[in-house]
Amino acid sequence: MRSTNPSRDASRVELPPAVSCHEQEKFRNAWPTAQKFIQDHSLNELFSDGVQDFGIILQGGMYNTTVRAARTFRTFGCFRDSKMPLYVLNVTYPFETRR
């Protein structure tokens, strides 16, 4: 049943100083763990058969569209035989580079 006269308890509201402490703790602990997981499981992929001085970095969902468009212009073959390096970010946040 709804109250006709709701009350507000200001002591239950989390203010930024308290919240930022939790966020900093998550950043210190969870960020490196997430980056290690991404790297250990090779979630971001590098396709670079024909290494050049430049390449394309793209979000994972754009990979198929990019390959299809490039095949139209005869820049890529099928799948992994691209003439241009592609770094496919299947996980974009937190960002982790290949080592």
Residue at 21 is within a domain: yes
CB 56 within 8 A of CB 45: no
Q: Say how far apart CA 68 and CA 76 lie, in whole Å.
A: 8
Residue at 5 is within a domain: no
Which domain, by its residues, includes 71?
13-89
Residue at 96 is within a domain: no
Residue at 3 is within a domain: no
Residue at 52 is within a domain: yes
Q: pLDDT, tens digit, for every residue of 11-24? A: 777 777 777 877 88
Q: pLDDT, tens digit, for every residue of 29-40? A: 888 888 889 889
- Write the single-letter amino acid at 1: M
If one counts the domains in the chain, the total is: 1
> Is pTM beyond 0.75 here?
no
Q: Among 93, 84, 80, which residue's Cα sits nearest to residue 45?
A: 80
pLDDT band at residue 8, thresholds of 50, 70 and 90?
confident
